[in-house]
Structures are given as C-alpha cells and as structure tokens.
Amino acid sequence: MPEDADVILAQLLLSRRFVEIDQLHEAVEYQRHEKAGGRSPGSLGDVLVAKGALSREKLEELQNIGSIEVSPAKKRFANYEIHGKLGRGGMGAVFKAVDTDSGETIALKILPPASAKEEDSHLERFLREARVALTLSHPNIVQGKKLGNVKGIYYYAMEYIDGKSVADVLDGYGLMDEGDALEIVRQICRGLEYAAEHNIVHRDVKPDNILITRDGVAKLADLGLAKGPASDARVTASGITLGTPHYISPEQVRGEEDIDVRSDIYALGISLYEMVTGGPPFDGDSMGVVIAKQLSDAIPPARDVRPDLSIATEYIIDNMTQKDRKKRYQTPAAVIKEIDGLTGKRKRPRLKF
C-alpha cells in the first residue's frame, strides 16, 4: 500500500491539476519496482520531480498546505475564539472555535496564505465548498455558516459536529452493526436527495466525509468537489478525474461530463460495503490499479467477507454499485425506499464512541 503522505500528495496533485493520472501511475509503479529490488525510491514527490513531471517549487507549495497555525499567544482569529485544532486536511487546518458575536461553537477551516491565490484551483475548491454549503440547509448535511477573508487569509465557518466520521468509527471499533450501517446510508441519502433537488452532486462521498453525531445523526461533509449549477467550467467540463479512487464511480474515472447523483449513490454503496465488511471492495499497490478495478471488476460479494450479512443488504449494495449507472438505483429516494422495506422505521444508529 502507498504511504499515507504519498496518498495525500497524490490527491492534492490531482485536485490542483499539477500532474496527470498517468504520470502518477508511472511514479507509483517506479516506487514499487525500486522497493521490490531492495532500493529506496524516495517519496512520491521526489520521484515526480526527478522524472520532470513536477517542479520542486510546486512540490514545496503542496508541502506548505495546511501549515497555518494559531499560536498559543493568539487564541483569536477574526471574530472567533480558538479552542483547539480538530484536524488538518488537503485544504488547511480546521479548528474548534466560538463565534464571539453569537456564542455558538463552530468548526473553522482556514486556508493557508500560500494557497490563497485568486488563480489557484485549490482556492477555487475551498471557495466552492463554502459557497455550496451556504446554499444548503438540511439536517443530514454539515451546515455552512460564513465565508470570509482577513488580510488575505480565507476562512470558512461551519457547523461543529460533536462526534466522529464513519472512517474513525471503523478504525476504532471495527465492523458496524448492519442495521446501523443501513440507517446511516438512509440518512445520507436524505441529504443527497436534497442536494440533488438543488442540482448539487457531491462527487466525493466516502467514510471520511460522513460524520456521525453522538446522538446518531449522519451528516455529509466536505463539499469541496461538489458540482453545482454555477460550477466553474474547468470543474464541470474538464474531463479531469475527481474523487477518491476507492469510492469513485466508473463514469467519474472516464471523465464524463454529465455526472449526476447516481455517482454519489455508487460511492455511498462502496461506503456501505466498507461499513459492513471492514474494507472497500477494491485495493491495489497503486491508485491506477484501484481505478482500473473500478472500471472493470465486479464488486466481490459482501457475504463472502461477512457471511452473517443479510441477503437483502448485499442486494442493496449490489444495486447501488452497478458499473452501468442506468442499472443502479436512479435516485437516493429509491435507496431509502429499499431500506425502509427491509428494516422498517428505525431509530438512530446506536453508535458507541
């Protein structure tokens, strides 16, 4: 498996369009070949620079992403009082903060100054996430609060979630109860249905982007790849593969322009598979291998991995993850109807963390 730092770098490279996926695949294959021969190939970034696919300047720019800090002596940013860091991702650091005007606890995402350039695609993604979230209001989507800029530093305030991501739950507690997993999918489908009604496609549904509150409410997060009616032409019609390899739909891999909610249904189906089996259906030594499997390989039967799983849940997974999107559930509402028919009206997930 690729190193975590290399995976993060690869995702940043693709999202910012610094390299083509074929160049990434070639670099990863070179790393694997060198390791197999007992040699140290260096990091993915170093390999890409050595091959002339990436400049050292661009690599250093990516390595600076997320480096912004709030010093202990300065616990305020704009009109927010900082109460600690929640995490760091491809688009900067996220802090727990309190809005000093309203007293509300929020999550505050701050984009590093090095990435805050008007022509920068990373800034475009940051602004797109905030603007899309600010237009949506649904209990199963993380609510946007405010987008702002202080002395050239962009920030985005959003709903604070007291809970964990599905990925964190799986990492810490193992397989999910089948009923809980289906209820999470049902709730996220409500959010996706609402988003689709507003012509929004998420395009990066995965366990990391599904948050669960302590009282069992599932919320869809990270709209940085979301496609809306006013999306930039370079995002909607570039043919660039966007998404995360383990969850990306075949039509996204092919770079098709008319991506719709059925791609989100596919990714959510892969996520459901992971919730009930412990891992995604496809893996490989490189992103290229995983993406190739998304295009051509059938999903391994979930019951082969977890024999106690019901036939009905395996049926739902199969119908969410058909390679041909015309053969999938056509709307999130159809998935909800199927789950309701299987489980009836359920209470919120009984997650323990």
Same domain for 264 and 236:
yes
The set of catalytic residues is 204
The reply to whether 204 and 332 lie within a common domain is yes
269 and 175: one domain?
yes
What percent of the chain is modeled with pLDDT above 70? 80
CB neighbours of 223 closer than 8 A, spacing ≥ 6?
128, 129, 132, 133, 200, 202
Strand boundaries in the chain, DSSP class E: 76-77, 80-89, 92-99, 105-110, 144-150, 153-159, 163-165, 210-213, 218-220
Instruction: Please check whether residues 204 and 309 belong to one and the same domain.
Output: yes
Residue pLDDT, tens place only, 116-167 = 554 456 777 788 888 888 988 999 999 999 999 887 788 999 999 999 999 9
Position 116 scores a pLDDT of 59
Residue 106 sits in a domain whose CATH number is 3.30.200.20
Most confident listed range (57-66, 169-178, 229-238, 281-290): 169-178
pLDDT value of position 264 = 96
Do 332 and 316 lie in one domain? The reply is yes
267 phi and psi angles, rounded to 5 deg? -65, -35
In a domain, 315, yes or no: yes
Count CB-CB contacts under 10 A for residue 237.
Answer: 12
Pair 282, 267 in one domain: yes
The last residue of a domain, from among 159, 184, 200: 159
175 with 291, same domain: the answer is: yes
For residue 245, name the pLDDT band (cuts at 50, 70, 90).
confident
Q: 32 lies in a domain?
A: yes
- The domain total for the chain is 3
Same structural domain, 227 and 331: yes
Looking at the domain assignment, is residue 68 inside a domain?
A: no
Parent domain of 48: 4-63
Last residue within a domain, chosen from 33, 63, 93 = 63
Shared domain check, 230 and 178: yes
**Top-confidence residue, 306 or 35:** 306
Confidence class of residue 1 from pLDDT cuts 50, 70 and 90?
very low
